[in-house]
């Protein structure tokens, strides 16, 4: 009897919606950026695994420079939250709207296009 109840409960458990998964991946990507884990951030970008080494190094340097500028101008990015997401299930793409909250109390909303691939959601 217990097995039947457990199976029924498992069947009722909802899978996260694709938009929710994309939003979670976008926040995770920015979390890597904030923490200074630039290689992990870049790993969350679609197609980054097939980039030439020299271009990859340029992108990593650009991410470091971006974060240095944010620290200098705004006291860094303190936190990131999801405002909303707009999913296109046919194109398997989702635009995630994030709110960046800076150390100096300013805020900025950014749109992060996300695409779904074999290894999950990645930033476009």
User: Is pLDDT of 13 > 90?
Assistant: no
Answer whether residue 65 is part of any domain. Answer: yes
CATH code of the domain covering residue 58: 3.10.450.50
100-113 pLDDT, tens per residue?
Answer: 999 999 999 999 99
Q: 95 lies in which domain range? A: 17-123
69-96 pLDDT, tens per residue?
Answer: 999 999 999 999 999 999 987 888 999 9
Count of domains forming the chain: 1
> CA distances (Å), 39 to each of 12, 15, 42, 81, 101, in order?
38, 29, 5, 22, 23
Answer whether residue 10 is part of any domain. Answer: no
Q: Output the pLDDT for position 5.
A: 47
Q: How buried is 97 (Cβ within 10 angstroms: 0-12 exposed, 13-18 middle, 19+ buried)?
A: middle
Answer whether residue 102 is part of any domain. Answer: yes
- Which residues fall within 8 angstroms of residue 55, CB to CB, at 6 or more apart? none
Give the chain's mean pLDDT: 90
**29, 42 contact by CB (below 8 A):** no
The pTM (predicted TM-score) of the whole model is 0.83
CA dihedral (53, 100, 123, 16) in degrees, to 10, reads 140
């Amino acid at each position: 009897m217990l097995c039947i109840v457990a199976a029924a409960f498992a069947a009722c458990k909802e899978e996260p919606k694709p938009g929710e998964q994309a939003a979670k991946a976008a926040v995770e990507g920015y979390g890597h950026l904030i923490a200074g884990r630039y290689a992990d951030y870049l790993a969350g970008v679609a197609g980054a695994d097939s980039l030439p080494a020299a271009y990859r190094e340029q992108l990593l340097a650009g991410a470091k420079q971006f974060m240095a500028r944010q620290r200098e101008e705004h006291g860094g990015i303190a936190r990131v939250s999801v405002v909303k997401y707009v999913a296109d299930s046919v194109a398997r793409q989702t635009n995630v709207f994030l709110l960046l909250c800076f150390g100096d109390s300013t805020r900025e909303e950014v749109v992060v296009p996300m695409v779904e691939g074999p290894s999950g959601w990645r930033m476009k």
